[in-house]
Amino acid sequence: MPKFDKRAADVLVWTLLLTAPFWLPMSGSYVELGSRVVIYALAAMALNFLLGYTGVLSFGHAAYFGLGGYGTAMTIKFLYPSTPVAMVVGIVVGTVAAAIIGPMIVRLRGVYFAMCTIAFGQVFYYIAFQWSSVTGGDDGLSAWERQPINLGFTSLDILHDNKSFYYFVLAVFAVSVGIMAFLLRSPFGRTLLAIRENERRARFLGIPVDRHIWMSWVISCFFVSVAGCLYALLSDFIDPRAIRWDQSGTFVIMTVLGGMRSFWGPLIGAAIFLVLEDYISSHTENWMSFIGLFFVLIVLFFPRGVLGIIQRKAAP
Amino acid sequence: MSQLLLFNVFNGLIIGAFYALMALGLSLILNLSGVINFAHGGFLAIGGYLAYTVAPYLGFWGALVASPFLVALIGILIERVLVRRLYGRDPLYSLLLTFGLAFMIEDGTRFIWGAQSLPYQIPSSLAAPLSTEFFFLTGYRVFMMALVAAAVLGLFLILNYTRLGLRIRAGTLDLETVSVLGVNVRALRSVNFGLGIYLAGLAGVLAVGMLGLQPTVGDNLIMPSFIAIIVGGLGSLPGTLLGGLMIGVASGVTSVYFPSASEAVMYVMMAAVLIVRPRGLLGEEGRF
């Protein structure tokens, strides 16, 4: 029975995502919001690979998100006007940075790990903020556009057609999520779960724990930089706020809100968070207070997240 | 050149003293309760704004005394209502809570006092330079250094020579045993939280005299405070003090030669410490 439920959930999620551009305008929303949700969902699911499935607390994922975005934006603006090339550059930049920082922090645990990820995350914020001749500083990097993608037989005009950009984002999302699901089902993924459940026992079984956490960290940051690339392409713009610590906090709260222990949880969290943010910020200037209040309320009354509660109710 | 260097070393010491004051408060709370208080910068801002508000009635000196106490009271209130519920849960949740609080405090101060930078008047007796040759040695800066030193000294005296301090130190090592011995751990954590926030408030009052008042005044001080704790070593208050002063002086000296790298040098120091000595300079082995 649970197996059937899981498959039904998959079908439901994909049906909703695939038909989104058609029902979003009908429900009074717009397609860009759908793209935003999918992009943030990818970032939150990538974070959940580390947070929910390896049990390691990272509060600095915005750094690699932002590096992906800046890599993409700067490549299109300064080097080579091609969307796929720019994305590859962005992903490589984000992943390499994570791979270099990883060994310094994988020996740490708990709050100490969280603190170091926050601090290291801010390095890139300061670089983006202060190196204004290259990064545009506080104003961000604008005056560039995502380029149509040439598929050989046809060209995908993601620039002018919102729907095709949405489907482009969704395709990248599908591939990324598929790889993550595959990894989690592999022996490697099972090892990560073992580390989450009982690190000491995993160590006694001969599992090189630090190396596995490093690998999980790099994989997680890889997919976060993919999301960062898409984020920059979404509005043809990136600024240092994409790297700031509050962005990292947003990824974590989305993950917690949706449910950390479930695969689709972060997607639901991202959807709820962004729709709410969209609504609040169009109604009041003090939306930051409401977002903050939202954080507090979730932590106090909703720590298991939406899916956590549903699963708990379903269990006998 | 040597005067410029001296100027920047002194500047670095002042900034480092701020980092240390912030970081000591963070460290106190982190050590006893396992909570990273991300809203610490927000409490610093509140300290500054409250001083601005009460200064017309109490004067500069009155505000200096009253404002940190008021901030500490707010801190204790927040600890009792919100933070307390999360002790013993995954540190993830207390971090998210203080993230949310940081948002709310920043927005709240902007709502109440406005987004523009407000001027903060310091007594003219403190504003004048002490000598013409060392123009950077204004009375206010020397006074600030003295006050930070007094606060740090006071903190260490409390921790080492009072019953409260003894309990805080014992609780840092083994809270369960302290609780079994009949100490009211809930009250202890409350007071300790208040003590940490008091230091943030004090740093806030002092900082606004130098940096001016805006809602994000704490933002630029919180990351260096984290780095101070990491460099000095988790669980060690002398380490935190050392870390704060070190990164302050290092960024001050760097700004003589490479002004744009003055932020980066702190992170380089953090990376070096993490590679060579992950527990920090004075940290205990195996604590984290």
How far is the alpha carbon of A123 from chain B, nearest alpha carbon, in Å?
Answer: 7
**What letter does residue A152 receive in the DSSP assignment?**
S
Look at the alpha carbons of B277, B89, A187, A61 in this order and tell me if their dihedral is positive or negative: negative
What pLDDT sits at residue A166?
92
Query: Which has the closest alpha carbon to A260: A222, A304, A295?
Result: A304
With a cut of 50, say whether residue A243 has pLDDT above it. yes
Q: Residues 6 or more apart from A33 whose CB is under 8 A from it?
A: A24, A274, A275, A278
**CB contact, 8 Å: B131 with chain A?**
no
Which two tokens mark A274?
A: 């962004």
Q: Average per-residue pLDDT in chain B?
A: 87
Q: Do A114 and B93 touch (CB under 8 A)?
A: no
Look-up of token digits 């404002």: B67
How far is the alpha carbon of B65 from chain A, nearest alpha carbon, in Å?
Answer: 29
Q: Do B288 and A109 touch (CB under 8 A)?
A: yes
What pLDDT sits at residue A233?
92
Average pLDDT rounded to a whole number, residues B18-29? 92
What pLDDT sits at residue B130?
66
Q: Do A292 and B107 touch (CB under 8 A)?
A: yes
What pLDDT sits at residue B40?
94
**Among the listed ranges A24-33, A267-276, A282-291, which one has the minimum average pLDDT value?**
A24-33
How far, in Å, CA of A1 to CA of A25, rounded?
A: 36
What pLDDT sits at residue B133?
63
Which of B84, B95, B98 has the most A C-beta neighbours within 10 Å, making it the best mutation to test the interface with A? B95
* Structure confidence by residue, pLDDT tens digits, B182-220: 889 999 999 999 999 999 999 998 888 777 788 888 888
Average pLDDT rounded to a whole number, residues B243-257? 90
With a cut of 50, say whether residue A1 has pLDDT above it. no
With a cut of 60, say whether residue A219 has pLDDT above it. yes
Confidence of residue A138 (pLDDT cuts 50, 70, 90): confident
Boundaries of every domain in chain B: 2-116+125-276
> How does B207-231 read in b/e, with b if 16+ C-beta sit within 10 Å?
bbbebebbbebbbebbbbbbbbbbb
Query: Which has the closest alpha carbon to A21: A206, A122, A163?
Result: A163
Residue B187 amino acid letter: A
Q: How many Å from the N-terminal Cα to the C-terminal Cα in chain A?
A: 13
Domains of chain A, first to last: 2-314 (1.10.3470)
**What letter does residue A141 receive in the DSSP assignment?**
B
Please give the biggest Cα pair distance in chain B: 60
**Among the listed ranges A48-52, B83-87, B122-126, which one has the minimum average pLDDT value?**
B122-126
With a cut of 70, say whether residue B228 has pLDDT above it. yes
* Structure confidence by residue, pLDDT tens digits, B28-80: 999 898 899 999 999 999 999 999 899 888 888 888 899 999 999 999 999 99
**CB contact, 8 Å: B161 with chain A?**
no
Q: Do A115 and B92 touch (CB under 8 A)?
A: no
Average pLDDT rounded to a whole number, residues A69-88? 92
How far, in Å, CA of B177 to CA of B236, rounded?
A: 20
What percent of chain A is predicted at pLDDT more than 70? 97
- For the beta carbon of residue A181, count every other beta carbon within 10 angstroms: 14
Which CA distances in Å does A170 have to A29, A231, A236, B164? Answer: 18, 13, 18, 58
Q: Which residue has the higher pLDDT, B121 or A81?
A: A81
**CB contact, 8 Å: B115 with chain A?**
no
Average pLDDT rounded to a whole number, residues A79-93? 92
Which two tokens mark B28?
A: 């106190």
Which two tokens mark A105?
A: 């922090």
**CB contact, 8 Å: A197 with chain B?**
no
**Among the listed ranges A1-5, A61-65, A77-81, which one has the minimum average pLDDT value?**
A1-5
Residues 237-256 of A with CB under 8 A from B: 246, 249, 252-253, 256
* Structure confidence by residue, pLDDT tens digits, B148-175: 999 999 999 999 999 999 999 998 888 8
Q: Do A130 and B267 touch (CB under 8 A)?
A: no
Q: Do A303 and B89 touch (CB under 8 A)?
A: yes
Average pLDDT rounded to a whole number, residues A224-234? 95
Q: Average per-residue pLDDT in chain A?
A: 89
Q: Which residue has the higher pLDDT, A194 or A160?
A: A194
Count the helix, strand and coil residues of chain A and give each as a percent rounded to the nearest 5.
75, 0, 20
How far, in Å, CA of B83 to CA of A126, rounded?
A: 30
How far, in Å, CA of A88 to CA of A92, rounded?
A: 6
Which of A51, A58, A123 has the most B C-beta neighbours within 10 Å, making it the best mutation to test the interface with B? A123
Confidence of residue B139 (pLDDT cuts 50, 70, 90): confident
**CB contact, 8 Å: B96 with chain A?**
yes
Q: Residues 6 or more apart from A234 whose CB is under 8 A from it?
A: A32, A35, A36, A39, A165, A169
How far is the alpha carbon of B223 from chain A, nearest alpha carbon, in Å?
Answer: 6
Output the DSSP codes for chain B.
Answer: -HHHHHHHHHHHHHHHHHHHHHHHHHHHHHHHH----TTHHHHHHHHHHHHHHHHHHHHHHHHHHHHHHHHHHHHHHHHHHTGGGGTTS-HHHHHHHHHHHHHHHHHHHHHHH-SSPBP----HHHHSBS-STTTT-BHHHHHHHHHHHHHHHHHHHHHHHSHHHHHHHHHHH-HHHHHHTT--HHHHHHHHHHHHHHHHHHHHHHHHHHH-B-TTTTHHHHHHHHHHHHHH-TT-HHHHHHHHHHHHHHHHHHHHH-GGGTTHHHHHHHHHHHHH-TT-SSPPTT--
Most confident among A87-101, B48-62, B87-101 (mean pLDDT): A87-101
Q: 3-state class of A213 per DSSP?
A: helix
Rg over alpha carbons for chain A, rounded to the nearest Å, is: 19
How far, in Å, CA of A91 to CA of A45, rounded?
A: 16
CA B162 vs. chain centroid, Å, equals: 22
Q: How many Å from the N-terminal Cα to the C-terminal Cα in chain B?
A: 43
Q: Do A296 and B102 touch (CB under 8 A)?
A: no
What pLDDT sits at residue B285?
66
Q: Residues 6 or more apart from A93 whose CB is under 8 A from it?
A: A67, A68, A70, A71, A225
How far, in Å, CA of B97 to CA of A52, rounded?
A: 18
Complex ipTM? 0.87
CATH class of the domain comprising B2-116+125-276: mainly alpha
Q: Which residue has the higher pLDDT, B131 or A197?
A: A197
> How does B7-31 read in b/e, with b if 16+ C-beta sit within 10 Å?
bbbbbbbbbbbbbbbbbbbbbbbbb
How far, in Å, CA of B207 to CA of B43, rounded?
A: 12
**CB contact, 8 Å: B95 with chain A?**
yes
What pLDDT sits at residue A261?
84
